[in-house]
Amino acid sequence: MLIQVGELAKRAGMTVRTLHHYEQTGLLTPSARSAAGYRLYDLAAVQRLHMIKALAQAGLELAAIKEHLDCGSLSLSDLLVQQITTLDTQLRTISTLRERLVLLRDELGSGREPDLESWLQTLELMKMYDRWFSPQELQTLPFAEQDEQRNQIWQALVMEAQRLMQESCPPDSPSAMALATRWMERLELDTAGRPEFLTRLNEMHATEPQMRAQTGITPEIVDYITHAFAQSKLADLGALSQRRRAGVYP
């Protein structure tokens, strides 16, 4: 089955001129031409157009898209998986905001007027991550997703840190070092293992009061965990040195 250029442009939500430009740049070549000279596109061409649009929506320039498609570095199946993942993340982000808006609506409906702070917190939540991460980065940042299990894990970590600090447990104690190790492992997981995300998240936490209020992580807790983690690394190095002197390697 072949489809004419005008019909393809209409179905794809783009202009005929754009398809002509794709042809001129070698990005999308017509599969054939009709007797009257109209450009015709087959299934493979339509699939390629799908990939072009998806990659363009992800922020890639046309030249980079052409390079990816020509070298075959990305299959249609892989791209569909990425699109589904992106949509899932967007749905979770929308769900987080929706929950906040529903809470405001319910308060209004029950006659309990949300106070100024509730409205301000909602506005801050809407824009906080946007100030520090691009839409593409947010799609790959687990920490930005609404996840009740993740929230419970972090609440437990924060409460344990608060307890150890209240008990004056030193950072080089086994309990503090074990907590710091779990904390850093979780942080690495929630920042997708990307150091630049971790750096920016730390900056956001230090700068945004709403972030600290939301997580309960104070500067004192951050300092405590940082020192405890450093002590745990020193302890690991000491244990490794002892094993090597004994002739036992890990």
- pLDDT tens profile 28-44: 999 999 888 989 999 88
Is residue 7 helix, strand or coil? helix
Return the structure tokens found at 216. 């309960």
CATH class of the region 3-71: mainly alpha
| Residue range 141-171, pLDDT digits in tens | 666 555 667 778 888 999 999 999 999 999 9
Cα-Cα end-to-end distance for the chain: 62
Residue carrying structure tokens 């202009």: 15
The alpha helices in the chain, defined as continuous H runs, are 5-12, 16-24, 43-57, 62-71, 76-109, 116-132, 135-138, 148-166, 174-190, 195-207, 209-215, 219-245
Query: What is the Cα–Cα distance from 88 to 94, expressed in whole angstroms?
Result: 10
Amino acid at site 160: E
- State the Cα–Cα distance between residues 240 and 229, nearest whole angstrom: 17
Identify the helix (H) or strand (E) that includes residue 39.
strand 39-41
pLDDT digits (tens, 9 = 90+) for 203-243: 777 776 766 777 788 888 888 988 888 888 776 554 444 44
Question: For the chain, what are the domain ranges?
Answer: 3-71, 75-145, 147-250
C-alpha distance from residue 13 to each of 52, 69, 87 (Å): 13, 21, 19
Predicted confidence (pLDDT) per residue in 57-104, tens digit: 767 788 888 887 888 777 777 777 776 776 665 555 556 666 667 777
